[in-house]
Amino acid sequence: MTMDWPGPEVLWARIAVNEALSAVAFDGSGDLADSLDGVRDGRISSEDGAGNWFTLIRYPDSQAILFGHDEDSSFWQQAYDPRADAPPWVQAADLATDHARINHDSEVTFVRWWDGSRWNWSEIAGEDGAVSALRNTADPVRYGGEIDVLADEAGWIPDDLDEDPDETVTDSDHLEALCAAADRGALTGEFFEFLDADQPAVIEYLTAAGIVG
């Protein structure tokens, strides 16, 4: 099992941007209001529309917990404790999530915890679904591709060189700059001007998430 993942600050920013753009693309930016309380409480969640999800909790002391449910887990619907080897602060954490599209009865198949320098997990003989669940968030190339897909779905970004003012295409340079700024903690509202009427709701969400100042 490989865990070459970025730290919780980068993961948090990537999840927030993905959630914001996904809401605009598929559900309407008004749905972001349902997630504001969660990000203000230090928890952010993501789901894939197929019943798989994960939640990241950040703590003031640089610690973090990442947990979720993925049907690719070899332990799905089996009795096992993903926190078996976890320290007391992880054992005591409330693994609840507040997301309108997540089935709150689904079992937690994986738990990871950040001790301030690295991700840790309980030693298990099998796949708990974490790698599958985070593959499009932890890997920067796959994450960039995910953002490209969202842009293609909605056709948000106008190409200033296009002769047809009603036709829109993906501006890859802008999206790459947006993703890079998110990873550096340097996002600003100007990156989202292409969202037009949806920009205020997206900025409110990302401000609550602490990644747009």
Edge-to-edge strands, sheet with 43-47 = 43-47, 53-58, 64-69, 110-114, 119-120
155: its two tokens: 């056709």
Q: What are the pLDDT digits (tens) for 30-86?
A: 667 777 767 878 899 888 877 788 999 999 889 999 999 887 665 555 667 889 999
Smallest Cα–Cα separation from 105: which of 94, 113, 93, 97? 97
pTM of this prediction?
A: 0.86
Q: What are the pLDDT digits (tens) for 126-176?
A: 677 788 888 889 999 999 999 888 877 755 655 544 455 554 444 678 889
Say if residue 1's pLDDT is above 60: no
Q: What is the pLDDT, as a whole number, of residue 161? A: 43
- Rounded to whole angstroms, the Cα distance separating 98 from 176 reads 30
Q: What is the pLDDT, as a whole number, of residue 169? A: 47
- Who wins on pLDDT, 179 or 40? 179
- Average the pLDDT over 107-135 and give the result: 85
What CA–CA distances, in Å, run from 91 to 76, 86, 94, 109? 20, 6, 8, 15
Q: What is the pLDDT, as a whole number, of residue 73? A: 67
- Rounded to whole angstroms, the Cα distance separating 18 from 137 reads 9
Say if residue 188's pLDDT is above 90: yes
207: its two tokens: 């401000």
Per-residue pLDDT band at 181 (split at 50, 70, 90):
very high
- Average the pLDDT over 185-190 and give the result: 93
- Rounded to whole angstroms, the Cα distance separating 147 from 27 reads 16
